[in-house]
Homo-oligomer: A and B are copies of this chain.
Amino acid sequence: MQLADAQDLDRADKLAAFRDRFVPIDDPGVVAYLDGNSLGRPPLSTMDRLNDLVARQWGSRMIRAWGEGWLELGEQVGDRLGEVCLGAAPGQVIVADSTTVCLHKVIRAAVAMRPGRTEIVTDALNFPTDRYVVEAVAADHGLTVRWVRPDLRAGVSAAQLAEVLSDSTAVVTLSHVAYRSAYLADMAALTELTHAAGALIVWDLCHSAGTVPVRLDAAGADFAVGCTYKFLNAGPGAPAFLYVRAEHRDGFAHPLRGWMGVEDIFAMDEAYRPAAGLRRALSGTPPVAGLVCVAEGAELLGEAGIEQVRAKSLALTRMLITLADEWLAPLGYTLASPRADAERGGHVTLDHPRAAELTPRFIDAGVILDFRAPHGIRLGPAALSTSFTELWTGLDIIRRLS
């Protein structure tokens, strides 16, 4: 595959114009940014929106701005995320806290909904935070963690999950897209299996939100969490989101009770009375700067359309795999992500015995990517901001420097 082929793909790319919607990279040393799956780039509109927030809202409306939209922002942006990429009807998604804190809330709430059951299921390759939260909740409540042990280059299959489910299972927590391999789990099938065992499921959407169309409502998912700083371009440490299926909302109770989660915030009542809606999931004061960044990321994605984004993302990762087969396999690289489109999220990991040593060399040469232990090089082109030419050039440098 030649550079001209990549250029042809760029010319045919319906999302090409979105590249100009991001803050230009003011660093001549950057040749290819292939880390959209770790930190998406800033939309230009985010900069404008932050300036408006500081000068007009915070600076001039001041405290009054809480009554002019800030208080509802978490729910409003959550609804918009539900619409543009999560497949969730309004009233079920709220933006708040970090993924870790959101995960703690939903797993605690889910466990409480299955009294008498003694096990939480997750997989040994799940993202560290997911495993730590599951272990912490289990330890706190005398529950046992049942581990699924998938292949490093794949993810949790229905057969593997079926093996550990039983009438002791309270909650299953899985990642929709595996952070290392990019394996895309079959959300509907695994949710159905979990429900058949009488358990509840919590999906971690960190690596799928904004790049893979998620269908939470249709899949029957009970709970979900996810981050917004990857394919949703909301910036470093922007607040996370959580999803609570409508039918679970009234019974949703988490331990991180705070003043923002009660029905009448300014009554400052003696007793904690959770809000009727999903605001009950909140703890402290909403992080407004982060919320407006999430709002801008969601708008940009909504404008492009998640199906278009998925189509380009697959075209990018298909090209990546083609070039890896052609150029990199002979240099000792092996594909550590699924080859089938239907099983692959938005990134690709290539294993190489010397990955740890090679990664800084690539970064120094302007190809920005991630190392993932033990020997993976993780590449995350972003449909809205990465061109085919950029990806081609990045892989060309990897080939030359390996």
A residues bordering B, Cβ < 8 Å? 22-27, 30, 33, 35, 38-39, 41-42, 46-47, 50-51, 54-56, 58-66, 70, 97-101, 104, 124, 127-129, 131-133, 135-137, 140, 227, 229, 235-240, 255-260, 262, 266-270, 272, 283-291, 293, 363, 368, 370-373
Interchain CA distance A305-B86 in the complex, whole Å? 48
Interchain CA distance A30-B56 in the complex, whole Å? 13
Asked if residues A368 and B64 are in contact (CB atoms below 8 Å), the reply is yes
Name which of A42, A267, A368 has the most chain B CB atoms within 10 A of its CB.
A42
Asked if residues B129 and A66 are in contact (CB atoms below 8 Å), the reply is no
Which residues of chain B come closer than 8 Å to A46, judged between CB atoms?
A: 54
Interchain CA distance A290-B235 in the complex, whole Å? 11
Asked if residues B290 and A289 are in contact (CB atoms below 8 Å), the reply is yes
Which residues of chain B come closer than 8 Å to A260, judged between CB atoms?
A: 100
Asked if residues A61 and B97 are in contact (CB atoms below 8 Å), the reply is no
A72 to chain B: closest CB distance in Å?
Answer: 13
Query: Which residue of chain B has the shortest Cβ distance to A363 in the bound complex?
Result: B64
Given A128-B262, A259-B127, A283-B98: A60 in contact with B368 (beta carbons within 8 A): no
List the 4 shortest-distance A-B pairs measured between CB atoms, nearest first: A98-B284, A100-B258, A23-B59, A100-B284
Asked if residues A59 and B25 are in contact (CB atoms below 8 Å), the reply is yes
Given A55-B26, A256-B100: A229 in contact with B285 (beta carbons within 8 A): yes
Which residues of chain B come closer than 8 Å to A272, judged between CB atoms?
A: 128, 131-132, 135-136
Asked if residues B237 and A25 are in contact (CB atoms below 8 Å), the reply is no
Given A257-B132, A287-B239: A41 in contact with B25 (beta carbons within 8 A): no
A208 to chain B: closest CB distance in Å?
Answer: 17
Query: Which residue of chain B has the shortest Cβ distance to A240 in the bound complex?
Result: B284
Asked if residues B47 and A51 are in contact (CB atoms below 8 Å), the reply is yes
Given A35-B62, A285-B236, A370-B63: A26 in contact with B56 (beta carbons within 8 A): yes
Which residues of chain B come closer than 8 Å to A239, judged between CB atoms?
A: 287
Given A60-B25, A63-B38, A128-B262: A285 in contact with B133 (beta carbons within 8 A): no
Interchain CA distance A56-B236 in the complex, whole Å? 13
CB < 8 Å: which of B24, B42, B288, B368 contacts A63? B368
Which residues of chain B come closer than 8 Å to A133, judged between CB atoms?
A: 256-258
Name which of A65, A97, A371 has the most chain B CB atoms within 10 A of its CB.
A97
Q: Known contacts A58-B235, A136-B257, A238-B289; can you find 10 more A-B pairs with CB under 8 A?
A: A47-B54, A65-B236, A98-B284, A100-B256, A101-B258, A136-B272, A140-B140, A237-B289, A237-B291, A287-B290
Which residues of chain B come closer than 8 Å to A290, judged between CB atoms?
A: 237, 287, 289-290
A226 to chain B: closest CB distance in Å?
Answer: 12
Interchain CA distance A267-B135 in the complex, whole Å? 18
Asked if residues A268 and B372 are in contact (CB atoms below 8 Å), the reply is yes
Which residues of chain B come closer than 8 Å to A42, judged between CB atoms?
A: 54-55, 58-59
Query: Which residue of chain B has the shortest Cβ distance to A57 in the bound complex?
Result: B236
Asked if residues A368 and B289 are in contact (CB atoms below 8 Å), the reply is no
Interchain CA distance A284-B25 in the complex, whole Å? 27
Query: Which residue of chain B has the shortest Cβ distance to A39 in the bound complex?
Result: B63
Interchain CA distance A229-B70 in the complex, whole Å? 14
CB < 8 Å: which of B33, B59, B237 contacts A285? B237
Interchain CA distance A373-B240 in the complex, whole Å? 33
Asked if residues A60 and B288 are in contact (CB atoms below 8 Å), the reply is no
Interchain CA distance A60-B366 in the complex, whole Å? 12
Which residues of chain B come closer than 8 Å to A236, judged between CB atoms?
A: 58, 65-66, 70, 285-289
Given A27-B60, A256-B101: A288 in contact with B132 (beta carbons within 8 A): no
Which residues of chain B come closer than 8 Å to A284, judged between CB atoms?
A: 97-101, 129, 237, 240
Interchain CA distance A47-B58 in the complex, whole Å? 11
Interchain CA distance A27-B23 in the complex, whole Å? 30
